[in-house]
Amino acid sequence: MNGSLKYKDISPKMAAAIKLSIKIGFRLQSDLPQIADDYRNLMSRLEILEKYGICEKYSISVSIANPSVTYAIRGYHGNEKVGKHIISRYDGLISDKNELNGIIIESRKKRLEIMVEGMKGIHSQTKEERKMKSSKGGINSAISHGLIPWNDDELIEAYRCSLLKEYQSKKRYGTYFRVDNFLIAKRLNMLYHNKKKIRNEKSVRFKLCKYRKKLKED
């Protein structure tokens, strides 16, 4: 996104958390540049956090450390105003968009394979799931039909958008504006799914609800 975007109705605590994630991401680039190779080898963000003890090293929670790894790898390009803070942009450890997209696709395949392998018992005995288990082609077929696990970057982008004025409807919920999950789904499909209708309003709402609860727990 270009220009300066403003987060609306964001608490000072949340603004500080976002700023810290971006700053830690920049530090990770010089402290742990090897995480780029870990990412290329399809390590998840949580695996990277555990491998280097990032939460302990920087005295931060998982909810701050997770997006920090994303910022380190992909960079920060928003130049956004978060509360009273203006945050400068920086490039990522992996700057080639084609390479990043390729890694994301392979990561999704890996996650879906793990998910399918973990299907046990009666609830996993549907015809569709047996087909997914049967071969590599089954995994690719599942992906092509929208059975795609959420990527960490995709979830963070959805949450980031939910804080922006342009992704909020005119309808209010108390003192806050309602999030336009349809617009967020549209953006996610454009950024991560080659404009295919993979995400929808309902799935975005569900994921954001779970993510917000996790942030509160941390």
**How confident is the model over 5-20, as a mean pLDDT?**
69
The whole-angstrom distance between residue 202's C-alpha and the CA centroid of its chain comes to 17
With a cut of 50, say whether residue 44 has pLDDT above it. yes
What's the pLDDT band for 161 if we cut at 50, 70, 90?
Answer: confident
Rounded to two decimals, the pTM is 0.62
What's the pLDDT band for 213 if we cut at 50, 70, 90?
Answer: confident
pLDDT digits (tens, 9 = 90+) for 162-198: 888 788 876 655 545 688 999 999 988 888 877 888 8
Q: Are 67 and 25 in contact (CB under 8 A)?
A: yes
The whole-angstrom distance between residue 68's C-alpha and the CA centroid of its chain comes to 11
pLDDT digits (tens, 9 = 90+) for 71-115: 999 999 875 556 566 778 899 999 998 998 889 888 878 777 766
DSSP the chain: --S--BB-S--HHHHHHHHHHHHHHHHHHHH-TTHHHHHHTT--HHHHHHHHTHHHHHT--HHHHHHHHHHHHHEE----EETTEE---EE-S---HHHHHHHHHHHHHHHHHHHHHT--SGGG-SHHHHHHHH-HHHHHHHHHTT--PPPHHHHHHHHHHHTBGGGEEEEEETTEEEE-HHHHHHHHHHHHSTT-S---HHHHHHHHHHHHHHHHH-
Radius of gyration of the chain (CA): 18
For 54, residues 6+ apart whose C-beta sits below 8 A from its C-beta are: 28, 32, 48, 60, 65, 68, 69
**The two three-digit tokens of residue 216, written as one number:** 């509160």
With a cut of 60, say whether residue 210 has pLDDT above it. yes
What's the pLDDT band for 39 if we cut at 50, 70, 90?
Answer: very high
Rounded to whole angstroms, the Cα distance separating 34 from 39 reads 9
**The two three-digit tokens of residue 111, written as one number:** 């996650």
In this prediction, residue 159 carries a pLDDT of 87
What's the pLDDT band for 151 if we cut at 50, 70, 90?
Answer: confident
